[in-house]
Amino acid sequence: MKCLVGIDLGSTTTKAVLLDEHGVVAGQGITNSRSNYEVACAVAREEGLVSARFNLLSRAVASADAGDGETRRIANALPDAFRLELYLDQLGELSEELQRCLERMVSPARRTALAAPLRQVVDRMEAGAAELFSGGGSRRSDFFRDLAGAAFMAAAEDVSADGTVPFERLAGLFDRAILDVETRMRPRPFDAMLRRALVRIAPSGDGAVNRILRAAGESTVEEVAFVGTGYGRQTLPFPKEAVRSEILCHGRGAHASFAGTRTVLDIGGQDTKAIQVDEGGVVTSFQMNDRCAAGCGRYLGYIADELGLGLHELGPLALRARRVVRVNSTCTVFAGAELRERLALGQRREDILAGLHRAMMLRAMSLLARSGGVRDQFTFTGGVCKNPMATKVLRDLVNENYGEGIILNIHPDSIYMGARGAALFALDDYRAGRPGMLPTFVHASDVPDETPCGRSEPAVRED
């Protein structure tokens, strides 16, 4: 299958969308943007390719005459089993890096005391890995850093509970090791990982497995055109002709998902965009908050850190508010101080969070007004639209200011809108017969297999 690839390099996450020659989404991939944009871009693309191959595999199994119940059962279980194998591979890398950090960053006198507890933590992480990918919905993220971080901290708290080893020392080792693990690429061939996953869920190796392997062999993807966009688009390894404005891409991606879209609000990690488009999805005007992260995803992330909560917990908690506390500032720098002051005054977390969400969405409404207001239909995109309190406040504000007749669209994959728009521009290039603008992605072979922990640190640091 020929695919057109769009990559959206955001400040927080990097997304990839693959379209087929008809403009239908064939696969999607996402990763955290990390401290190495080249690696983030390559990982998002690999995730998209894996997604596309699994979609092709599912179609092949569904349409095959031999697609009996057992074959379908195995095929349905494969994606989670595949993810588990990837996770275990990365967990092995993390274990190696933790050991290197232990040897390079901890003095010999303390190294012995930390070695056994650290091994216990890693063993617990390995033992609990299968549960994360059991299909029961227990994992809240697909990012290795999030999954491994939550598992490590939970195990480290248990291991350090008796006071023999400080929790902070274990956590410090993880914080250092994860930086190298997530900026390193190692080869993980799709076919090899698929076979490992099949052995896990169908060890007998019967005819159903052979049918799936044959279908997988036919599930090839040929990338014929690329376009990049996003907050970090200037750092993408793309020719300049293959880079498009994120305003254009978000507007077009939203219009492709909802053809009636005339107004788009995109709230990402670092900026907010209010966009007006015409009936063809072409941008007619826009306003953008691009000078600071006030009122964006990073702002909510900072608040979550201050409260010791996960980002996904803020919205549901704010929905339990009894009243909306008036918040004076949405500045990320001063948000923590105001939050602590209000908590010290005895105000409820839920009420403060409700006020923070309202202040954030009022900023977005100001941008929308300056861009031309809200017209039907109104599409909300970006990672923040997954926050139920943010969407509720936005709905209320739109009703108050523009009436209740406005349709508010929220797509399940709204975070991919920019990448989808980029892929549509790549499709335009392909259909017009323009030369394929092929970027130079970093490959696993281009990255040293072993990045020494603490490369800027002395060989031994007294802690």
Domain locations along the chain: 1-245+419-463, 259-410
Tens-digit pLDDT profile for residues 101-151: 999 988 888 888 899 999 999 999 999 999 988 865 555 677 888 889 989
Would you state the pLDDT for residue 333?
A: 64
399 vs 411: CA distance, rounded Å: 20
The count of C-alpha atoms lying within 13 angstroms of the C-alpha of 213, restricted to the half-sphere facing its C-beta, is 16
Helix axes 297-307, 311-318, angle to 10 degrees: 90
Residue 422: pLDDT over 90: yes
Residue 462: pLDDT over 50: no
DSSP state of 434: P
Structure tokens at 455: 């490369």
Predicted structure pTM score: 0.85
Tens-digit pLDDT profile for residues 3-39: 999 999 988 889 999 999 999 999 999 988 877 888 8
pLDDT-based confidence at residue 444 (cuts at 50, 70, 90): low
C-alpha dihedral (64, 70, 76, 82), degrees to nearest 10: -110
Would you state the pLDDT for residue 62?
A: 77
Residue 463: pLDDT over 50: no
- Amino acid letter at 286? F
Would you state the pLDDT for residue 323?
A: 93
Q: Which CATH code of 3.30.420.40, 3.40.50.1100, 3.30.70.1450, 1.10.3720.10 fits the domain covering 259-410?
A: 3.30.420.40
Residue 391: pLDDT over 80: yes
DSSP state of 443: -
Q: What percent of the chain clears pLDDT 90, i.e. is strictly above it? A: 51
Mean pLDDT across the chain, nearest whole number? 86
Structure tokens at 193: 């990982």
Q: Which of 299, 247, 241, 294 is nearest to 274 (CA)?
A: 247
The answer to whether the beta carbons of residues 6 and 424 sit under 8 Å apart is yes
Question: What is the dihedral sign for C-alpha 50, 51, 56, 59?
Answer: positive
- Amino acid letter at 445? S
Q: List, as one string, the DSSP characters of 334-398.
A: HHHHHHHHHHHTT--HHHHHHHHHHHHHHHHHHHHHHHT---SSEEEESGGGG-HHHHHHHHHHH
Would you state the pLDDT for residue 439?
A: 72
pLDDT-based confidence at residue 437 (cuts at 50, 70, 90): low
C-alpha dihedral (242, 244, 250, 256), degrees to nearest 10: -50
Would you state the pLDDT for residue 305?
A: 83
